[in-house]
Structure 1
């Protein structure tokens, strides 16, 4: 399968590229992104075939339908990393929480967040391509809290790869920050910036498109790629768990094969939701995809009103910081799929030049056939955390909690909903401790102990050990100095 470009083709690029080319150089013509030229059709026959398959068997067959140019032994090695999750027989448990509401738990990997689902195998795939081509790569990662730890974990000590990870200083939880700054592998560089996630992501996109930066890397015999979800190497692995989650409902007798469900996705950069959208287009029975946001609710406004307007917006710090994002990169891939490359390029040019764009009435109608949305503020989220724990015996993180509001406001209660839990409770313990007991200003380690006692849950050793590990990465810089700092690292 080949990959094409969301904003059309400039004169310097081929009309289409292979999967390996798309993940090695993920930014396409005019600053656009790569998308599959076509999507494989799976349908009910595929779903029935995999009703009793393992997660790895499902994943391998789905990847084979994309006909990607990656050797089978590399794919097998990449998928074998799911064996290191909490339960190798079921790395993504799906748990009933309320009548017709099921939570797909995507956080059972090494960094306790959903980014492991895609980045664990992605690290092996990209490193193997680099070795096969005898090339060295700098992998850029910008993180609002979860991509960074997962990218560092998957790429540490891998051959032919170095990683520069950008995060907003003060914009992550303590656990997320410690997961990054305690990494000591020589091929990793963690850089805190005085700014917000959008600053880090803008810097990443600028560097990926910068000819002068690429020229400076070329002098060092280094090529450039990215671990963010602008890279389709991330997205392809995110399609799989939506299919798995649906099959889990069928296995549990919660739904019949072919019956439609809602996919309810807490979303910041939209990669998780995009994976669900592609699964739907490939044949997964979906009623609609519901986007759950926090106070940074640009996606709600887009889906409700057709307006993406950042002119009077600033990122608001919230209790769900991994979603504190205003520019959601993967919306572009949805625009391309619905409206084509010419309109996508026009809309993205408006966003870049005017900081806003607006869909036509017909375009909004088309978007709303696929998506609905609502947002949940921090106080509402803590209320859902407390009530769901006390009434249903289920403990969730503040990002997952945003799904509870949109479950109530956007879905037909007679249709099953799969909501996606993107992080373990350990990643955001002060918020959860405050929700459960009212305690305020607790340090992460104290909040973890409090929740452990209240909920009778053990703190995972990988999390508890962070608080005694030595800090190996202490760089904090202004966003204007990012390029200089990365070149210094190399």
Structure 2
């Protein structure tokens, strides 16, 4: 079956998977969604005997139907290789009554590596398939992790350039050091004087600017995205939930067909949407537990049916979730609106204009797969401390938000189903927040002294990603105002 993609806002044409990956965002500002959802074609018993790479092929071939078997397997082999520090790619660790799915074993120690290791290969393959002559300019906003993972993936890839905007004072020291030391002549990093939502809005504005698109085309460039709005990011994320379920069956921790719950810490809604898609293609998932931090816009949405971005933006210890505009939620809104692009577009327009929208009672009925809650800063720190003291297992702040919310879910529902918690970043990426949660005495140490203590405490080796930035020189020290983002892009590309 040839699967095609259409825009959530309904005015764009139907495109192939490779075209959707190249474009990133639809011409009407909407997000690409599959026109129909496939079903898993192989049994869980077979999946349980497969490597991560083999599972990836079985899942991704369902969504990327215009890629040949050879093309897709080559992309997968190039992505999931020695860049990861474990052959299993995404290990499951049992601790405190849940299964932590470690998604941080790639070369930037965050879950974004799981998709951004393969996206450059998918994109360059897609460019060849569609006879694209322009240089592809990856334009990305990051709340901390996407930027580094995208740059690591695209660095020195022929025919591409990558520009990353991040909130100058809204990421951890390790996150910022990882970005500003990035090698590659085709990479460009800019700190903006604003928050992630400002960066994301500025990037979307450039994507939707037809005049700018013509200027770029005239100069031999075209934009694409490495954010989770790109379907080429979302599809690889479905893989690890399928792999996790198969692993549980393989290890005899669940029976084949047994329902599990999945808990995901999320800000932009992409990672939990991938879990939802895994359920829709046939994985036995019951509840999708959506964990928010103090910026609890998603919790409030699931509670009230109103999405309201008009609130104070809080910088927290889980900065990758410090988001008030959850871009990927649009794909869910489109689905629960009965794939009604007009209804979805009206809500997105209301969000852009009035800062909020409210779904109908009928649409609310489509949210029964989800449970939403949040953890504040105190609860996040307590989750880290308690898990370490009870089990010796150390988690980062984002995973701690999920662990805290999972406990609340069990208390609220008494549901004791086996649960996978998406562990989205290494504790080494947020060493200060993690170590001071365990004991306040660590706050007196500098960033790399904290790393040394974390090695001893967790009994895990220091990741290569952290070793590298200890001595790496700063290569990017660009800062701009929000309203200067477009001018900054044009200046770097040499477009006057």
Q: TM-score, normalised by structure 2?
A: 0.94
Q: Which residue of 2 aligns with 1:254?
A: 253
Q: Which residue of 1 aligns with 2:352?
A: 352
Inter-partner Cα distance in structure 1 for 2:52 and 2:464? 25
- Verify: 1:464 aligned to 2:462, yes or no: no
Moved over 6 A (4+): none
Inter-partner Cα distance in structure 2 for 1:120 and 1:260? 30
Q: CA deviation at 1:63?
A: 1.8
Q: CA deviation at 1:441?
A: 5.9
Q: Which residue of 1 aligns with 2:17?
A: 19
Q: Is the contact between residue 137 and residue 160 of structure 1 (CA under 8 Å) also seen in structure 2?
A: yes
Structure 1 counterpart SS, 2:94: strand
- Verify: 1:476 aligned to 2:479, yes or no: yes
Q: Is the contact between residue 131 and residue 159 of structure 1 (CA under 8 Å) also seen in structure 2?
A: no
Equivalent residues, number: 482
User: What are structure 2's unaligned runs of at least 5 residues?
Assistant: none
Inter-partner Cα distance in structure 1 for 2:29 and 2:264? 26
Inter-partner Cα distance in structure 1 for 2:223 and 2:100? 37
Inter-partner Cα distance in structure 2 for 1:47 and 1:458? 33
1:291-370 alignment, distance < 5 Å: 291-311=290-310, 313-339=311-337, 340=339, 341-367=341-367, 369-370=368-369
String of CA shifts for 1:221-248, please: whole Å, max 9, x gaps. 1111110011101001011001011111
Inter-partner Cα distance in structure 2 for 1:224 and 1:286? 36
Structure 2 counterpart SS, 1:372: strand
Q: Which residue of 1 aligns with 2:424?
A: 422
Q: CA deviation at 1:425?
A: 0.8
Structure 1 counterpart SS, 2:163: strand
Q: Is the contact between residue 143 and residue 320 of structure 2 (CA under 8 Å) also seen in structure 1?
A: yes
Inter-partner Cα distance in structure 2 for 1:120 and 1:278? 20
Q: TM-score, normalised by structure 1?
A: 0.95
Inter-partner Cα distance in structure 1 for 2:461 and 2:222? 43
Assess, with a 3 A threshold, how the Cα gap between structure 1 residues 393 and 413 changes in structure 2: closer, same or farther: farther
CA RMSD in angstroms comes to: 1.5
Inter-partner Cα distance in structure 2 for 1:189 and 1:303? 37
Q: Is the contact between residue 430 and residue 441 of structure 1 (CA under 8 Å) also seen in structure 2?
A: no
String of CA shifts for 1:208-265, please: whole Å, max 9, x gaps. 1101211221121111111001110100101100101111111121111111111100
Q: Is the contact between residue 141 and residue 164 of structure 2 (CA under 8 Å) also seen in structure 1?
A: yes
Q: Which residue of 2 aligns with 1:283?
A: 282
String of CA shifts for 1:391-431, please: whole Å, max 9, x gaps. 01211000000112221122444211100000001100000
Inter-partner Cα distance in structure 2 for 1:264 and 1:193? 32
Q: Is the contact between residue 393 and residue 458 of structure 2 (CA under 8 Å) also seen in structure 1?
A: no
Structure 1 counterpart SS, 2:443: coil
Inter-partner Cα distance in structure 2 for 1:461 and 1:234? 24
Q: CA deviation at 1:299?
A: 0.3
Q: CA deviation at 1:87?
A: 5.0
Q: Which residue of 1 aligns with 2:8?
A: 6
1:431 corresponds to which of 420, 433, 452: 433
Q: Which residue of 2 aligns with 1:74?
A: 71
Q: Which residue of 2 aligns with 1:89?
A: 87
1:230-241 alignment, distance < 5 Å: 230-241=229-240
Q: CA deviation at 1:467?
A: 2.1
- Verify: 1:104 aligned to 2:104, yes or no: no
Q: Which residue of 2 aligns with 1:52?
A: 49
Q: Which residue of 1 aligns with 2:242?
A: 243
Q: Which moved more, 1:371-380 or 1:450-459?
A: 450-459
Q: Which moved more, 1:239-248 or 1:354-363?
A: 354-363
Inter-partner Cα distance in structure 1 for 2:342 and 2:177? 43
Inter-partner Cα distance in structure 1 for 2:170 and 2:449? 20
1:141-180 alignment, distance < 5 Å: 141-180=140-179
Q: CA deviation at 1:442?
A: 4.2
Inter-partner Cα distance in structure 2 for 1:334 and 1:86? 31
String of CA shifts for 1:245-286, please: whole Å, max 9, x gaps. 111111121111111111100001111011001010000111
Q: CA deviation at 1:73?
A: 3.2
Q: CA deviation at 1:450?
A: 2.2
Q: Which residue of 2 aligns with 1:139?
A: 138
Q: Which moved more, 1:460-469 or 1:420-429?
A: 460-469
